[in-house]
Amino acid sequence: MVATGGLRTALTGQQQGRDDMQDDRHDTPRDDEGERFDGADRRASSGATSDRPQPFSGLTRLLRRATDEDAALDAICDYWHGLRRGHTVPRRADLDPRGFSDHVSSVFVLEKIAPGLARFRIAGQQVSEVMGMDLRGMPLSALIQLGSRDALQADLVRLFEEPAILRMRLRSGARLTGAMLLLPLRSDLGDVSRALGILRTRGPVGSGVNRFGITSSSIQSIGQAQGLPPGYPLPTASPTASPTAHPAPQPGFAERQLDFLAPGPDAPHHPSERPYLRLVR
């Protein structure tokens, strides 16, 4: 009986031990879960990063892209200001592509042809690729959608007449965006009828024609365009034309004003000479 009672006591103790172990197993997940959250809190407080994408990563990329576009526009604007040399508006003849060699493929030159209208005289490769064709001779409005052309026309009037600096944000479809800067220039005659521009795009251009809507624009007046600024060099005309003399090399993108000779019996004739040609790219 004593042995039997001792055995019963031992079995009872073992059963109690197993019950305690089961209670511990039931408590363990709660303890592990609590420890896991505690560990996550510690990782967060220590600065550890998660593998999941950050919620503002897309916004950061967009801001970086906008910053890159603005940096290119600011570089051209700084170059333009450097050409002023105390004048209200610099001369187109002073343009030198070496001064903006990093952005030359995005740069273009406009010529005013009527109030609110301007055409391309020179266009960089990337600018022409947006339209899929050579833009020389085409109006600037060819790049702009119909719904934004009235706004562009009003801004161009101010750009040439005040004169003013024009910045625009552009969009074509859902994936192609752009930024454009236009800066007024004086022609060889002294009138504000030229403009230095830059167009930077972001997104697939494709092989077709792209036209942009103007999403926003800002224009800053820089002074009066009436009359020439003090000290501005006036163009001088030669008293007698010499058709045999070759013109001196012109700096940068300069275009020489040709002298006009009316046909008449006293006009010199040199059939053996070939006219002077200069390739404008």
Distance (Å, rounded) from C-alpha 166 to C-alpha 66? Answer: 17
- Say if pTM beats, i.e. exceeds, 0.95: no
Q: What is the pLDDT averaged over residues 71-86?
A: 91
Q: What is the pLDDT averaged over residues 61-73?
A: 65
Percent of the chain with pLDDT over 70: 55
pLDDT confidence bin for 280, thresholds 50/70/90: low
Q: Which pLDDT score, from 0 to 100, does residue 139 have?
A: 97
Q: Between these two residues, 58 and 186, which has the higher pLDDT value?
A: 186
pLDDT confidence bin for 76, thresholds 50/70/90: very high
Q: Does residue 45 surpass a pLDDT of 70?
A: no
Q: What is the pLDDT averaged over residues 214-223?
A: 91
Q: Does residue 4 surpass a pLDDT of 60?
A: no
Residue range 242-272, pLDDT digits in tens: 333 444 445 555 555 555 555 555 554 544 4
Q: Which pLDDT score, from 0 to 100, does residue 12 have?
A: 54
Q: Which pLDDT score, from 0 to 100, does residue 67 have?
A: 63
Residue range 224-245, pLDDT digits in tens: 444 444 444 444 333 333 333 4
Q: What is the pLDDT averaged over residues 206-215?
A: 89
Percent of the chain with pLDDT over 90: 45
Distance (Å, rounded) from C-alpha 151 to C-alpha 157? Answer: 10
Among candidate residues 152, 132, 237, 134, the one with its CA nearest the CA of residue 195: 152
Q: Which pLDDT score, from 0 to 100, does residue 61 have?
A: 44
Average predicted confidence (pLDDT) for the chain: 72
Residue range 154-185, pLDDT digits in tens: 999 999 999 999 999 999 988 899 999 999 99
Contact call for residues 110 and 118 (beta carbons, < 8 A): yes
Q: Which pLDDT score, from 0 to 100, does residue 26 have?
A: 46
Contact call for residues 58 and 199 (beta carbons, < 8 A): no
3-state secondary structure the chain: CHHHHHHHHHHHHHHHHHHHHHHHHHHHHHHHHHHHHHHHHHHHHHCCCCCCCCCCHHHHHHHHHHHHHHHHHHHHHHHHHHHHCCCCCCEHHHCCHHHHHHHHHHEEEEEEEECCEEEEEEECHHHHHHHCCCCCCCEHHHHECHHHHHHHHHHHHHHHHCCEEEEEEEEECCCEEEEEEEEEEECCCCCEEEEEEEEEEECCCCCCCCCEEEEEEEEEECCCCCCCCCCCCCCCCCCCCCCCCCCCCCCCCCCCCCCCCCCCCCCCCCCCCCCCCCCCC
CATH of 61-221, one of 3.40.605.10, 3.30.450.20, 1.20.58.340, 3.60.10.10: 3.30.450.20
Q: What is the pLDDT averaged over residues 115-135?
A: 93
Among candidate residues 68, 151, 132, the one with its CA nearest the CA of residue 103: 68
Q: Does residue 202 surpass a pLDDT of 80?
A: yes
Q: Which pLDDT score, from 0 to 100, does residue 87 have?
A: 81
Give the residue carrying structure tokens 């034309």: 241
Q: Which pLDDT score, from 0 to 100, does residue 41 have?
A: 39
